[in-house]
Amino acid sequence: MTSMQAISGASRRVASRKLMVGIYWAFHTALAAMVALPLMGAAVSVLSHSRYATEIMRGFDVMWLFEALSASRNLPSPMVLPLFLLALLLAVKGGVFLNGGAVKLLVHDEIGYSPREFYEGCGRNYWRFLRLMLYSLFFYGFALAIGASITKAAGKIWGEGLEERPLVFAGYLKNAVQILLCGFVATAMDYAKVRLVADDSRQSLRAAFGSVRLAWKNKGTVMGVWLVLLLLWAAATLVYVQVANRIQAVTIGSILALIAWQQLYVLSRVWLRMTSWGAAAELDPVLRPRQMPPEETAPVLVEVAAGPPVLEAGAEAEPEAGTQQ
């Protein structure tokens, strides 16, 4: 199976479970609103009846931002950071929970979306996926450490020089390597999730290392999928930015159009995320063929008397051997 075939199959799997995409989108939107609404409530309350707002809508004035920051310093408690951290924590925990249901439905293609099946998967896989997420930090840490070592090495080689250019290019290299490695880890963890669900296993640590090994062995196919999805994301982002920059969001109509366009972009990101799992689900049986159980001997047909045994009145069951009365 090629990378494109896997993506195509994954797209089909996701497309037949649109409600699942909707749940994922709604979850992120609700948490984002948890931070955005109070923050904007505070900001907009100052501007909602100010003519300054009209000016800022025509061309954003950085002075207002600093005025607002300065004013917020006098608030009794800076609530933005705790709120943001809470949203982040809920997002990670909630994300782990929802991933369980999503991966289950994408792995078991024969099961269509239903809330019961979805949430059953969420609950069943929650702790396995949570452990997996914690184990994945080790791999991400490793990827970041390699990036940091590139920076350190570049600093040693060129840091004392009089040119910035080699360090700039070393920075590009470090970013590229780090993105590639983090992409590899993220993809391997997708395979680990699929493995846990497909095998109905609780062995998160084994799945993590096994999937990293699997992804490394089949890096062409696995990273091919990742690369195609990355390019699709980049293309979606480029299209989003180009269109968004052209929308002059000053009237209600244009503002609503921009919001709709933004949400379409967010949906596309959710879609790509699920496609990544779907592609892992497509490729997993190919890359990791299931061990078939040993063949059983063919059953011997025994003639059985038709109909139930005839019990006569007064007859008692014979006790089985070894049992005591």
Residues 51-80 that bind other proteins (CB under 8 A): 51-54, 56-57, 59-71
Q: How many residues bind other proteins (CB under 8 A)?
A: 78
- Which of 183, 152, 154, 180 has the alpha carbon at shortest distance from 169? 154
Between 44 and 153, name the residue whose CB sits nearer to other proteins.
44
Q: Is 200 in the site for other proteins (CB under 8 A)?
A: no
- Are 130 and 96 in contact by the 8 Å Cβ rule? The answer is yes
Least Å distance between CB 259 and other proteins? 4
Q: At 221, is the secondary structure helix, strand, or coil?
A: helix
Tokens of 156: 């040693």
Place of tokens 């995320």: 273
Interacting residue with other proteins among 273, 278, 279, 283 (CB under 8 A): 273
State the Cα–Cα distance between residues 37 and 254, nearest whole angstrom: 20
DSSP state of 322: T
Q: How far apart are the first and last CA of the chain?
A: 63
Radius of gyration of the chain (CA): 28
Between 16 and 262, name the residue whose CB sits nearer to other proteins.
262
Least Å distance between CB 76 and other proteins? 19
Between 68 and 111, name the residue whose CB sits nearer to other proteins.
68
Interacting residue with other proteins among 2, 16, 50, 149 (CB under 8 A): 50
Residues with Cβ within 8 Å of 128's Cβ and at least 6 positions away in sequence, in order, are 100, 196, 201, 202, 204, 207
Q: Is 251 in the site for other proteins (CB under 8 A)?
A: yes
For other proteins, the binding residues in 133-172 under the rule CB under 8 A are 133, 136, 140, 159-165, 167-168, 172
Between 53 and 205, name the residue whose CB sits nearer to other proteins.
53
- Are 178 and 143 in contact by the 8 Å Cβ rule? The answer is yes
Least Å distance between CB 126 and other proteins? 11
Q: Is 107 in the site for other proteins (CB under 8 A)?
A: no
Between 146 and 182, name the residue whose CB sits nearer to other proteins.
182
